[in-house]
Homo-oligomer: A and B are copies of this chain.
Amino acid sequence: MPQTIRLAVIPGDGIGPEVVAEAVKVLDAVTAGSDLAFEKTPFSLGAARYLETGDVLTDADLASIAEHDAILLGAVGGVPGDPRLANANIERGLLLKLRFSLDHYVNLRPTTLFPGIASPLANPGDVDFVVVREGTEGPYVGNGGAIRQGTPHEIANEVSVNTAYGVERVVRYAFEQAESRRKKLTLVHKTNVLTFAGGLWKRIVDAVAAEHPDVAVDYLHVDAATIFLVTNPARFDVIVTDNLFGDILTDLAAAISGGIGLAASGNINPAGDFPSMFEPVHGSAPDIAGQQKADPTAAILSVALLLRHLGAPELAERVEAAVTADLATRAADSAAAARRTAEIGDAIAAGVAQN
């Protein structure tokens, strides 16, 4: 039965439009002749839009995006230090606003070291894990404040808010991931210092673990977790952690597996109340924008996450297989290694058409 998916597309700033173009190319190629059709609505959002109109994300934008079935986002953010953006926090006002408003409580970030990809680690071993990062709580809630700002007596506070409701739902999702993988789950927090938030996370993981006797559960402080990510990443299968620790660990995870040019992510509302959003982990990289230098692979792998989310795992696997093959070709062949953004997209689109 053919199904039409309303897809909101937010190319964004910098290299965002370039990588999104390739992601859409691959999406079209892999779904051609399938049961899935996409009705795409472009949204012009980001630093460029702000500079033009003064708007970061209007209520009307948000309401319109929320009517879609899913979102594909490239990258948002202007040139660092642009004085015209000094008062616009595009990250908080747009990216985080979408994650919070659309209740993306799972920020899913798989990490795989693809064959042929060089890791900065001398002996990376088998790198294949997912980070399930909480997406709607923790230090990201924006509940900070300051008094006497700009004076020698300034006090600036940030509040990390953590709820049993919010932690339990993401922990349950992480255990489901572990059940479908190698059945190992690691909670990462800083329970010895952040005793209240850490205690809540620990108790909930322990409680949910009792329902999953076949999942091996362990715990690492966030500082120790960074050590294992560079000395023995193969020890990880599923990591579940809070919003800020997840932010830090997933950049490190991307780095050890070949760089953020390959790191995909899904901001997921598993309950389905709101559209989920798929985006590469990388930023807008204004320094190389418009030059066809960006690697669209992370955006293309985000399409695979989108397809899996839409219940089409076989299409997701075709995208992943085509990416794996393309990365191997690029690793083996210096002409292929020099390919430009659209050429990489072409190669992967051709790959999904064949496989």
Contact = CB atoms under 8 A, between A and B. Distances in A.
Interface stretch (A12-20, A222-230, A309-317): A222-230
A87 B259 CA distance: 42
B96 A158 contact: no
Contacts of A193: 91-92, 96, 139-140, 244, 247
A72 to B, nearest CB: 22
Interface string A71-98: 0000000000000000001011000100
Interface stretch (A248-256, A265-273, A322-330, A347-355): A248-256
A203 B149 CA distance: 10
Nearest to A247: B223
Contacts of A155: 161-164
Interface string A129-150: 0000000000110101110111
Interface residues of A, number: 63
Contacts of A168: 152
A146 to B, nearest CB: 5
Interface stretch (A22-30, A31-39, A57-65, A117-125): A117-125
A158 B256 contact: no
B122 A156 contact: no
B146 A196 contact: yes
Given A157-B159, A224-B251, A247-B223, A197 B144 contact: yes
A215 B146 CA distance: 29
A227 to B, nearest CB: 4
Contact of A226 (B190, B195, B226): B226
Contact of A163 (B150, B154, B159): B154
B203 A227 contact: no
A190 B119 CA distance: 26
A151 interface: yes
A193 B168 CA distance: 24
A42 to B, nearest CB: 25
Nearest to A96: B193
A114 to B, nearest CB: 17
Contact of A121 (B121, B154, B203): B121
A162 B153 contact: no
B230 A197 contact: no
A187 interface: no
A165 B164 CA distance: 35
Nearest to A219: B80
B230 A157 contact: no
A304 interface: no
A194 interface: yes
Contacts of A303: none
B252 A196 contact: no
Contacts of A139: 139, 158, 160, 193-194
Contacts of A153: 163-165
13 contacts: A120-B121, A122-B122, A139-B160, A150-B203, A153-B165, A155-B161, A156-B199, A158-B194, A158-B196, A223-B250, A224-B251, A227-B259, A252-B252
